[in-house]
Amino acid sequence: KQEVTQIPAALSVPEGENLVLNCSFTDSAIYNLQWFRQDPGKGLTSLLLIQSSQREQTSGRLNASLDKSSGRSTLYIAASQPGDSATYLCAALGHSGGGADGLTFGKGTHLIIQP
């Protein structure tokens, strides 16, 4: 059974810093890995999707990497802003059900950017 772990569980940094959020997964047989953002009381917003054949994806100040062999992904946020404050979720799409198993989620990193 796939397990996804996110470290740290919470992080508070001053505005302007670059930061890295970590995600690890136990089963390397994945179709893809997706990073989401969730604001309090809101739904999930997809940030980046990395297919299993890719090493990284970039969108604006965000960069996500994937190392299947070690079971790790990182989300890099450059020049953090107070508006980046949210919970960030990492989720892996399993391979066993032909891509239809659904995502296995980590419990998230609660990020606070101090003005």
Partner 1 sequence: NAGVTQTPKFRVLKTGQSMTLLCAQDMNHEYMYWYRQDPGMGLRLIHYSVGEGTTAKGEVPDGYNVSRLKKQNFLLGLESAAPSQTSVYFCASSYPSREQFFGPGTRLTVL
Nearer to partner 1, 8 or 82 (CB): 8
DSSP string, the chain: ---EEEE-SEEEEETT--EEEEEEES---EEEEEEEEE-TTS-EEEEEEEETT-SEEEETTEEEEEETTTTEEEEEE-S--GGG-EEEEEEEEESTTTT-S-EEEP--EEEEEE-
**Interaction between residue 16 and partner 1 (CB under 8 A):** no
Site string for partner 1, 35-74 (x = CB under 8 A): -x-----xxxxx--x-------------------------
Site string for partner 1, 73-92 (x = CB under 8 A): ----------------x-x-
Nearer to partner 1, 13 or 62 (CB): 62
Minimum gap (Å) between residue 78 Cβ and partner 1: 22
